[in-house]
Amino acid sequence: MLKVRVHGRGGQGAVTAAALLSHAAFAEGRHAQAFPTFGSERTGAPVVAFCRIDDEPIRIHEPISEPDALIVQDATLLHQVNVFDGLRPEGYVLLNSSRTLDELGVAEVRTGRRPDRLLTVPATAYARRYLGQPRPNAALLGGFAALTGAVSLGSVLDAIRERFPGPVGEANAKAARDAFDDVAQHRRQLADA
Amino acid sequence: MLSQIEGSLAVARSVMRCRPEVVAAYPISPQTHIVEGLADLVRTGELSPCEYLMVESEFGAMSACIGASAAGARAYTATASQGLLFMAEALYNASGLGLPVVMTVANRAIGAPINIWNDHSDAMSQRDSGWVQLYAESNQEAVDLHIQAFRLAEQLSVPVMVCMDGFILTHAVERVEIPEQAEVDRFLPPFTPRQLLDPAHPQTIGAMVGPEAFTEVKYLMHAKQMEALDQIPAIAGEFEASFGRAAGGLVRGHRIEDADTVVVALGSVLGTIEDVVDSMRADGVRIGALGIKSFRPWPAEEVREALAGAGRVVVVEKAFAVGAGGIVGQNVRLALSGTAPVVFDVVAGLGGRAITRASLRGLFEDVLADRVVPDRLHFLDLNTELVERELDRSRRGLIGAHAERMLRDLGTAGAGPY
């Protein structure tokens, strides 16, 4: 079972990201369970959502405390919430930022982990380019597909287009594709290094 | 159709397949997405003919359902928490009049302190209202139970509540099979009302009944629920034959045949419990789980039979009777009276506190090692230090609100489950 935790801020679409990921996995014939936590919901407040993906039906209903993968939609959360809490040693991290982990001051997360699984991607920049809005959600899912291989880019794009039909979906799909390429290239560089 | 869909929207589509003619509701978290979904299906015409009434309150919602049902329409509503309390008076009218209204309760805690998250305090507070109470352990079962609920309600002329855990199920996006219209039509015939208000043929429903017959009317309510003990498994059996999957019934056991210890629970925590049971079984522990699917009527015989061979019974429930103890626990004790098993009452998951596999496993191991005292109420994962500090402040005569002081003690700026 792959356990994913999404951290974002109210309005960035953490709940939608987890749901879209579950749709992509479902389209590949797998079982997936996406669920949010709800708190004092307001724009900008820290938000967490979860997604489990498995080949077997999923019957448990508890929050994910030891994630295999993290998607962090907002780098400013790094110094407010312990986003890495419980992350498994072999875990993946995809962080929305145009800066590196070192520049963000969280280089220590690499300790004991595979560096090619801990990446940043400028998802907001891709979203701005195609959507004209700072909504990093879809781009991050494209990057997530490249980072983990847990779902294919095609399934992610289908899920995005199904949720947002028309031009909004197409723009998000382009942002997702660019983020996928970015992360894939980044991983190749790290593998070659 | 097999869909990856939010639980609330899956339930809305399932209710649509049941062709309600009146939906009257007032939105309240975590029920909101269900009634929004239905409002949308009425707006688009997918659910037609159906009148969607946006009423002014939950009391209005249940009253409108009572009126609609008495006029011969299939009526549905949904609510949660304080909303259910607000309709309490009308709940008793629906059951007392024998009107087959179906309602979803998206289970949520009751304040104060105000809390929007899941537990079973709401439904449990209305357990003696004369409504049948069915509890779903998954979104698939929630979908399937609604179809069975309309059948049961109309067969017996009794209102039925389908309880599903708020947020945990209502807001979870999962794989759900939503039955086709033709399948549901085959299973659920059109509503033939047993009593009907018709202006052309005036008659009274809801007459005042004095001591000469009040007991007898109430007796009939009880008799109908006892009859439901036969109907519920029959309907569940027919459902399985017709839809190809099991759902509902009175109780469902998981690895209880040779179990020394059986965990009893209802709702979505059952899946988590079964996971723990399987991992302890793998370590050689003879443990099992019993899911209560129908809490009202209470299937005393089935519970007794399922638990007869156990030495220990651990009841894990998301509500309790303040000043008395467990609610499900008391019912289990009643069912087991005169038999051997020792019963442990454990309250868990109040106000959205996550019930984790780690906590459950710790609890079951404590029970097996005789570290838990039976016959008293236990609170899973209780922060005893926090409670002790507050009791100490009270003893020292400090004046102030408990809830706010405990939040300050924890250093919590804003309430939240994470």
Reply yes or no on whether the pLDDT at B416 is more than 70: no
Residue B384 lies in a domain: no
The answer to whether B113 faces chain A, any CB pair under 8 Å, is no
Q: What is the mean pLDDT of residues A14-19?
A: 95
Domain end marker among B219, B243, B267: B243
B269 neighbors B355 (Cβ within 8 angstroms): yes
Tens of pLDDT, residues B61-94: 999 999 999 999 999 999 999 999 999 999 999 9
Q: How many structural domains are present in chain A?
A: 1
Phi then psi dihedrals of residue B65, to 5 deg:
-65, -40
Contacts of A22 in chain B (CB under 8 A): 4, 173-174
**A:B CB pairs within 8 Å:** 79
Q: Tell me, yes or no, whether B287 and B403 share the same domain.
A: no
Q: Do residue B228 and residue B267 come from a single domain? A: no
pLDDT at A79: 87
With CA atoms as reference, the chain B residue closest to A57 would be B175
One domain for residues B188 and B287: no
Q: Which of B227, B243, B259 is the last residue of a domain?
A: B243
Q: What is the average per-residue pLDDT within A119-136?
A: 96
Q: Are residues B316 and B394 in the same domain?
A: no
> Which chain A residues are closer than 8 Å to B165 by Cβ?
61
Query: Looking at residues A121-129, what average pLDDT do you find?
Result: 97
- CB of B32 within 8 Å of a chain A CB? The answer is no
Alpha-carbon span A20 to A136, nearest angstrom = 13
CATH at residue B43: 3.40.50.970
Write out the residue range of the structural domain in which residue A143 sits.
2-192
What's the predicted TM-score (pTM) here? Answer: 0.96
Please check whether residues B330 and B406 belong to one and the same domain.
Answer: no
Question: What tens digit of pLDDT does each residue of B257-302 get?
Answer: 999 999 999 999 999 999 999 999 999 999 999 999 999 999 999 9
Q: Please tell me the least confidently modeled range out of A181-185, B232-236, B339-343.
A: B339-343
Tell whether B399 and B278 lie within a shared domain.
no
Nearest 5°: the CA angle B285, B288, B289 is 150
Computed on alpha carbons and rounded to an integer, the radius of gyration of chain A in Å comes to 15
Confidence of residue B418 (pLDDT cuts 50, 70, 90): very low
Mean pLDDT in chain A? 94
The residue behind tokens 């020792």 is B342
Q: Which of B30, B138, B354 sits opposite A62 (nearest CB)?
A: B354
Mutate to test the interface with A, among B117, B119, B137, B174 (most CBs of A within 10 A): B174
Residue B415 has pLDDT above 70, yes or no: no
Cβ–Cβ below 8 Å for B416 and A39:
yes
Q: Are residues B185 and B300 in the same domain?
A: no
The reply to whether B56 falls in a domain is: yes
State which residue of chain A sits closest to B139, comparing Cα positions: A59
Distance from CA of A39 to the nearest CA of B (A): 4
φ/ψ (deg, to 5) at B186: -65, -35
With bands split at pLDDT 50, 70 and 90, how would you rate the model's confidence at B414? low
Work out the percent of chain B whose per-residue pLDDT is above 90: 94
- Give per-residue pLDDT as tens, A135-157: 999 999 999 999 999 999 999 99
Q: What is the CATH number of the domain that holds B339?
A: 3.40.50.920
Given this model, what pLDDT does residue B375 score?
A: 82
Residues of B in contact with A26 (CB under 8 A): 4, 175
Per-residue confidence band for A40, with pLDDT thresholds at 50, 70 and 90: low
Q: Which of residues 51-90 of A touch B (CB under 8 A)?
A: 57-63, 65
Q: Does residue B357 register a pLDDT over 60?
A: yes
Q: Do B167 and A31 touch (CB under 8 A)?
A: no
ipTM for this prediction: 0.95
Interface test with A, best of B29, B114, B135, B175 (most A CBs within 10 A): B175
Rounded to a whole number of angstroms, the distance from the CA of A18 to the nearest CA of chain B is 9
Task: List the one residue out of B53, B8, B68, B58 whose CA is nearest residue B33.
Answer: B8
Of A19, A48, A61, the CB nearest to B269: A61
Residue A81 has pLDDT above 70, yes or no: yes
Residue range of the domain that includes B401: 389-418
Of residues B317, B311, B318, the one with CA closest to residue B288? B311
pLDDT in tens, B19-39: 999 999 999 999 999 999 999
Number of domain units in chain B: 3
Q: What is the mean pLDDT of chain B?
A: 96
A44 touching chain B per CB within 8 A: no
Yes or no, beta carbons of A61 and B414 under 8 Å apart: no
Give the distance from residue B408's alpha carbon to the nearest chain A alpha carbon, in angstroms: 17
- Record: contact B414-A39, CB cut-off 8 A: yes
- Chain B contact probe: residue of A20, A43, A62, A160 with most B CBs at under 10 A: A62
The structure tokens listed for B318 are 């998301």
User: CB A59 to CB B138 under 8 A?
Assistant: yes
Q: Does A28 lie at the interface with B, CB-CB under 8 angstroms?
A: no
pLDDT beyond 70 at A106: yes
Claim to verify: residue B15 and residue B153 sit in the same structural domain: yes
**Chain B residue closest to A33 (CA)?**
B174
CATH of the domain at A88: 3.40.920.10
Task: Name the phi and psi angles at B253, rounded to 5.
Answer: -95, 150
Q: How confident is the model at residue B127 (pLDDT cuts 50, 70, 90)?
A: very high
Contact: B271, A35; criterion CB under 8 Å: no
Q: Which of B221, B243, B265 is the last residue of a domain?
A: B243
Q: Is the pLDDT of residue B99 over 70?
A: yes
Whether residues B172 and B28 fall in one domain? yes
The reply to whether A33 touches chain B by the CB within 8 Å rule is yes
